[in-house]
Structure 1
Amino acid sequence: MEALPRETIVDVLEGRLRTDILDGRHPAGSYLPPERQLADGYGVTRTTLKHAFGRLVQAGLLETRHGVGTRVRDYARLGGADLLPMLVRHDAKWVREIFEVRRSVGALIAERAAVRATRAQRAELRALLEAVRECEGADAVQLADLEVHRALARATGNRVYVLLTNTLFNAYLPIRSLLRAPFTDAAAAHERLSPVVEAVLAADAPRAHAAADAYLGDTERIMLDDLA
């Protein structure tokens, strides 16, 4: 068995600071109080505070200038999609917005894949689709389904679609275990996904777009109903 991770004081402080920033207690563009004051307020050492600051600077929520102070970045204006996993952990309502993008981008990916997929990529899609049906357990089916979508993105021949697909999956990774409802039945999951892959294999771009839109819409509703 794998040991469970243990939170350190830096982990706890990072979470508290992140929550205070995202909840607006420290507004975008504002400077945080002096380190000594902030450390005393949270009941930690300045060393612990500096470690937490370093993580939040790396995450894109803070910026520190020597001799000036630490300022809250305007993540809504300056941030990138790499912030999404953190935002989902803070507020699950972000999932609905992620799914809206997932649906529109996913349908476009399927359409492009239908036109551009190579023979080898079509063979890979057949094999990956079949793997969905053969999986046991919702977690395994969910991961197998994900690999089909990664393969669809690769089949577009556009690496940006691949990165977008990775970003969207990573965005709801923090709550993936709560989104297993469409994958509890391997046969049903396979049947739901088949029209997308079949349209791509047939090189029918309009049908692939429509099938992907339907698939992503159906699974979105199932997952959000279960999450609610």
Structure 2
Amino acid sequence: METLPRETIVDVLEGRLREEILAGRHAAGSYLPPERELADGYGVTRTTLKHAFGRLVQAGLLETRHGVGTRVRDFARLGGADLLPMLVRHSPDWLGEIFEVRRSVGALIAERAAMRATAGQRAELRTLLDAVREADSADAVQLADVEVHRALARATGNRVYALLTNTLFNAYLPVRKQLAGPFQDAEAAHARLEPVVDAVEVGDAPAARSAADAYLSATEEIMLDGLRTAGDAK
């Protein structure tokens, strides 16, 4: 059983300001109203407002200039991939674009892994693949599946691929319960992923790329169908 989060007034204010910025109510490049005016408008103290601002500065949504004011950062132009988890929470529309990158990068990673994986890395992939079939819940299957992809990225020998893989997973793992469709059946999940590991294991780069593309396309379709169904049910 998960402990329920306890929101503070700073949490609530941060969330409201974040949603207003992402929804475009405060335009990129514009300055927010003076602190006193904002604090009065939200019914909070200026100290609370400053704490919320500090978090949003760290998140890359605001920038504060001493003596000038607090400006909305043009995150679409200047932001990095670390913003993706926040953007997905704001709007599921981002998932389609994330999945497009997941598909193209994932296929390339599988190809490179087939070319470069060591014997130890191939053995690790097989062990991690077995864990997918042995997982006892959809959530556990999904997390086991993730570890296979992290291992594929490591097997390329390119640390940037590993970081890109982590970034993509970090973007949608917070909403993974809504994307559990491909992982309801552990045997089926294992069967979809096995051709990728098989191709990497024998060093067949074209087959690994093709298998990864097929796997990523199939799971993407199932996940997006699940999201559409959930949206229609609301």
Match of 1:153 in 2: 153
Letter in 2 for 1:216: L
5+ residue gaps in structure 2?
229-234
2:157 is equivalent to residue 128 of structure 1: no
Match of 1:179 in 2: 179
Alignment of 1:82-93 (within 5 A): 82-93=82-93
Q: Normalising by the residue count of structure 2, what TM-score does the alignment of the two structures yield?
A: 0.96
2:90 is equivalent to residue 97 of structure 1: no
Mapped to 2, the partners of 1:41 and 1:135 lie a distance apart of 50
Mapped to 2, the partners of 1:40 and 1:20 lie a distance apart of 17
Letter in 2 for 1:136: D
Is the partner of 1:31 in helix, strand or coil? coil
Match of 1:59 in 2: 59
Letter in 1 for 2:217: G
Give the Å deviation of 1:3. Answer: 2.1
Letter in 2 for 1:167: T
Mapped to 2, the partners of 1:159 and 1:142 lie a distance apart of 23
Mapped to 2, the partners of 1:6 and 1:194 lie a distance apart of 42
Alignment of 1:1-228 (within 5 A): 1-228=1-228
Deviates more, 1:157-166 or 1:172-181: 172-181
Letter in 2 for 1:38: L
Q: Normalising by the residue count of structure 1, what TM-score does the alignment of the two structures yield?
A: 0.99
State the aligned residue count.
228
Letter in 2 for 1:30: S
Give the Å deviation of 1:182. Answer: 0.3
Give the Å deviation of 1:173. Answer: 1.8
Mapped to 1, the partners of 2:101 and 2:74 lie a distance apart of 22
Mapped to 2, the partners of 1:135 and 1:174 lie a distance apart of 20
Mapped to 1, the partners of 2:126 and 2:53 lie a distance apart of 47
Deviates more, 1:188-197 or 1:173-182: 173-182
Mapped to 2, the partners of 1:148 and 1:7 lie a distance apart of 35
Give the Å deviation of 1:2. Answer: 3.9
What do the CA deviations read for 1:173-224 (whole angstroms, capped 9, x no partner)?
A: 2211111110010000000000110010110001100100000000000000
Mapped to 2, the partners of 1:104 and 1:204 lie a distance apart of 18
What do the CA deviations read for 1:29-85 (whole angstroms, capped 9, x no partner)?
A: 000000000111111111110010000000000000111100000001100000000
Give the Å deviation of 1:7. Answer: 1.1
Mapped to 1, the partners of 2:79 and 2:46 lie a distance apart of 27
Q: RMSD value over aligned CA atoms?
A: 0.7
Mapped to 2, the partners of 1:10 and 1:57 lie a distance apart of 14
Mapped to 1, the partners of 2:130 and 2:69 lie a distance apart of 56
Percent of aligned pairs with the same residue? Answer: 81
What do the CA deviations read for 1:161-183 (whole angstroms, capped 9, x no partner)?
A: 00000000000122111111100
